[in-house]
Structure formats: C-alpha cells, structure tokens
Structure 1
Amino acid sequence: MRRTLGVATALVGIAALTFAASPANAASLPAGDKAYILPCDSDEFNGLLYEVDTTTGVATQVGDWENPDTDVFACAGPAAYNPVNGLGYWISWANSEGYLISVDLTTGENTVVGQFTIEGEPYYTPIAIAIDAAGNAWATSWSVSPDVLYSLDLSTAALTEVGPTGVTDESDNYGLAWDSVTKTVYAYNVGTEDFYTVDTTTGAFTTFAEDVFGDVVPYAIAFDSAGQVWGINEDIISAPITDFASAEVLSVINPDPNGESPEDNIYSESILIVPAPAPAPAPAPEPVLAATGSDNGNLGMLVGFGALLVVAGAVIARRRTA
C-alpha cells in the first residue's frame, strides 16, 4: 500500500538570529535533486522509503515494499547515497545488532548487506555513514572514546579503523555526509552542535562552524548538488554551509487513518539526497580538415585542369589507333 505523508512548511531563524530567515534566503532543493527519508517510528513504518517533495511539502512512499522482519529492518539510522551504483545505504539499529542495509531508490526494496563487524567480530554501534563520488565509505561510532572514524566496506559491512577524530566532549552522536561541491566529508556533533570537516586519511575532525542549528538539532545530514546541507530530526532542515542563519524547515507528518487533518509527526533520523543526473555530453565537433593553403576556387581550377588532361589523353589515343 502506498502511503503519503503531509509536510507542513515554515521558515525559522537558526543559531542566534531568531526569525531572521526569509524566503529569499532560505535554502531549497536544486532542480532535479531528490530527497528521501526512512522513518525510525514504529514497526509499520520502519524500513519504508519516502521521497520528499520540498516544493509541495509531500512525502510519498517509493514502491510498495513492506517490512518482512522488524528484528532486522528496524529503526533507520543515518543514510547515504552511493553514486557509483545508484543505491542508498542506511544503518538499521535492530535489537543491539547493527545492520547495513541497501535500498533501491526506484522500487524501495531493501536488501541486507550484513551485520557490521570489526576484525570479524559483530559491532552494533555505527551511528553515521558517508559515501564519496568514487563509492568510498566511512562510518562513525558512539561507543568508542575518543571517537574513531572507520572506513566501511559496502559489500560486506566490515569496518576498519582509520583513526581517532580528536573530538571527545559530548561526542556520542554524529551526522556524517559527503559534499560533492567542496569534495569534503563533513560531520555534525549533536552534543555540541558543532560542524566539522573530516580528514578521511587520518580520521581527524577540524571545527568548521560552532553552534550551527540552534533549536533544531538534526541527527543525520546530507548535501545536495549545490552544496547545501540538509538535516533531519522529526523536522527536515536545510541551509547553505556558508549561511547557517537561514534555513527552511519541513515537519514530516503521519497521515491520519480517518482521512482527517494529520496531527502526529513521524520521527526520522535518516535522510539522503540524490543529485540530478548529469547533463548529456555535448556532441563531438565536426572534424576540421587541415589547412592546405588552397581555397575552393583553386580546387575548382585543379578539377577542371584534370578533366582537360583526360580529354586530351582520349584524343591522342584515337589518333594513334587511326
């Protein structure tokens, strides 16, 4: 059964600027980009993929997938888009057993990649993932102090330590996402509400901005093709990373079963953005002949001269046979 969620839209002030945002400054999804969420709400909704129309304010289930095993397809943690194979990936927090799930963004079908492991041992506390343009993936965790960045094998769910983040204060939750514009992985610390750049070779986090979202604290982040950051925590929030003081907020609403006005928010900690398809390459230019120093007039003269030679040869041949 296809489910549709209503979304109520309102502009809010972010950080220290209360009510400072305006429609002219608010972030919006670039044309052709698509936003998706996965709920962390109840057995009925967990694992269902929704596409959010940020223009009309409606979220609609993709496909008709239904959850066959709520012990595996449980509360959806942060997600990421893999541009190499076109799949989404999300963390399932299932009964203290963390699973990596792939989701087909055209059908909504979910597939279990595997349980997260470190050196072959089960590991259930990855909290966020990011995937770059080449399909390289990373994850953060909430159970290690100091926090550690891991590389993630998307085919097996195996984690390999990259190095400590260097952040220890209230650092148990992170949003993690790849920005295709700056070619950078960014992280968001829910405890301190600070934004970081991530060195994927060492694991080190470097502060990019502090106290960026104020009252709206997202538990997952994603970037669109224009380099705007989007976050989710019941509400969806978006803003350019160069201007966190302006944002657009969407409240995702649970449809009322009686067909009346919806009242209850659906809770989600999982958002992913799919960029618009790249434009088709321009057709190859027509080959240009090398310059010979001759123009068309000279070419015509040469052709005419060649024809005269042919006629002259024919006349000579007739005289010899006469």
Structure 2
Amino acid sequence: MRTFKPIEEHHVGGTTETWPAYRSRPGVPQTRGDLRPPSGGGRRRSSALQHAIRTVCVLGQVGAGLRDPGPWEPAGCLRPESASLPNLSEVAEGRAKESAGEGASRTRAGAPLAMGEVEISARAYVKMCLHAARYPHAAVNGLLLAPAPRSGECLCLTDCVPLFHSHLALSVMLEVALNQVDVWGAQAGLVVAGYYHANAALDDQSAGPLALKIAGRIAEFFPGAVLIMLDNQKLVSQPHVPPVIVLENHGLRWVPKDKNLVMWRDWEESRQMVGALLEGRAYQHLVDFDCHLDDIRQDWTNQQLNTQITQWVGPTNGKT
C-alpha cells in the first residue's frame, strides 16, 4: 500500500501549489527509476529486435527490403535493419486528400486548429494514471484520442491508448502501434489528437526529446494536438490538483497551455475514481502495447477496463 508524505509545497511556473507528495512503499527508493517491477514482472523479455520482427511477422508486414520511414516515425529513433514496414506515407497522403475535401484539420495541408479549450474525460485521465501506476519503475507513454473537432470547437480527449513501458524509442514498434491505433480510432470516429508521457524519475516532469519528437509528428497531422506530461509527484490517490501538465504547439515550441482553457468533464469524480481503482489495484488489468507485443491475445484497447470505468461513472452521470 502506498503511503504519503505530509502536505508539501511545490513551485511551478512562479506559482505555489500544495499537495501530499508521492511516496513509494516503505524501504523502496524515492525515484521511479529505482523501483522494482511489480510482482510477476520479472519474467525475462525477448530482445527489442525479436519483439519488432515478431510483431511485423504477425501483422504480415515483413517485406524484402527497407522502405522510407512512415509518417509517424520519429527521426533519429532506432530502426532494426532487418525489419520492413508498409510505406505509410502513401496511406497518409491518401487520407490527407480525403480529409482536405471534408475540411478536416488533421493533415499538413489542412488549416490549423485555433488553440482553444481542451476537455479531459474521466476515461482518458484514469487510464493515464493507471498506466503510470502499473510501471512506477519506468517511463511510460501513450496516445490521446478525440473526435475530430471543427475549427474553434473544444478538443474533447475521450480516450487514451497506453503504448510502452520499455523500448519507448524503438521506431519499428512505435510505427506499428501508431498505425494500428490510427486505423482502430478511425473506425470509432476518433483521431490521434495528442500524446502523454511520464518520465521514470520522480521529480522529472520535463518534456524530453522523444516526447517532443512524437508529439511534433502527431501535430503535423493534427495541428491542434496536445502533449500531456504526467507529474509523478502529484500521482497520489486523492490529488488536490490535477497531476498533468498540458502543453500546446506554438511553431517549433511546446509551451504550457493556459489553465483556464483546460477543462475536466468532472474533476472531482475523476480523482475519486482514480483513488478507488488504485485501491482496488485495477492497474493490474491495464494492457499497453508492450503487453500486446508479448502476447497478442491481450487487448490493447482495454475494453474490460473501459467497462469498469463506465460502470463506476454510470451511477453519477452515465458518461466517461
């Protein structure tokens, strides 16, 4: 069971916020990077290359030679030389033409969205927190999904897809995941509208090069995309303030978004839900794409967890 320090002050952007700082189990070092994996996580994993090759084989995407990097692939990431993926540039180009005809803003050619309001749903928030809670020893990341808004409309982050807790920079796995999420989201009327990231160190809430690169690539296709950094020190069962830092893209820079433009469908309910699910160890049932690559029978869309969240919310307002 997690314990908590007394209320402490924390200075962010010239302001002082107060909340109980996160503390791990007694006797465990106070950095996420030093925490041991949860029980059952000690099983020896295959190498990153084996993961990548097995994944593309299962998906039937192994070709004879390398192709140009797809549109999702961050520059500078490790790419196994023996793996080959479909050229997603052609796919993206076709989608861009279709979206441009519909006035959508997710393509490079589309008009950028106005930097307006962002709403975070309970489902998206809860799954981000549970992802970080399941792997307190590692950095984690994932994608944020939303219905494509029209210019000037609020961006409603209705869901998230946990991606990785290891090998975050392996581009072949990242590209497969992004492609799968993009196709799955399109079937549900959702677009990849953002990226979330939690660093391994307890006191590190900065957006590193990898987070900026992936978020920047998403912003090329969805100009209104947001980058959410999780603040590990605020990740407690009942935080006084949201443990997230929402950044928006201003040209080549990602800057904190005006807090008055970041809304919650129901913050009080969301924080109570996280506390209840953490106490019930619901994070043990969360599946990220890493888990799916280990065992493709595991559901990276987390429908079981989504149902659990919906049932928790149902008595209040029936929405997530």
TM bucket (normalised to shorter chain) is under 0.3
Structure with bigger gyration radius: 1
Which structure carries more strand by proportion?
1
What TM-score, normalized to structure 2? 0.26
What TM-score, normalized to structure 1? 0.26
